Amino acid sequence: MGMEDIHDRLLEDWGKAGCPSPKEIQANAAVSHATASKYLGGHIKTLDSLKRLVEYLGGDVEWYGKEWAKAHVPSVQAYAVESPGPVGDRSYKAVQLDILEVLQEIRDDVRKLAGEPRKADS
């Protein structure tokens, strides 16, 4: 799941709420009409505003929080780059592997918080 899935679900919740206008959302939620319009258009910037919008629409705020966290955990593979040379007394590859291990632990922790099994467990 990613931000596209969050946007799709937001549109579903918006439809279930009767498709209130951005001005109507502003009047009833702590979200500006401009922010509501941007978020409904797929330009979702902050979790705080998203949660306020979802709460007004009657959506599952907890689901959005979990999906937001998963969508914002960097991909471990994004950090796999070519070695530019040694780092101190260690090779760049050794440092890179340490970093990747820490990133995987962080990703596992986020999945655990989101209620998903670790990759090794699945």
Per domain, the residue ranges of the chain are 3-71, 76-121
Is the domain defined by 3-71 classed in CATH 1.10.260?
yes
Any residues with CB less than 8 A from the CB of 64 and at least 6 apart, and which? Answer: 6, 9, 10, 47, 50, 51, 54
pLDDT (tens digit, 0 to 9) for every residue of the chain, 122 residues total? 688 999 999 999 999 999 999 999 999 998 999 999 999 999 998 889 999 999 999 999 999 988 888 887 765 455 555 555 555 666 766 777 778 888 888 887 787 777 766 555 44
Phi, psi angles (nearest 5°) of residue 59: -85, 180
> How far, in Å, CA of 45 to CA of 14, rounded?
18
pTM as predicted? 0.61
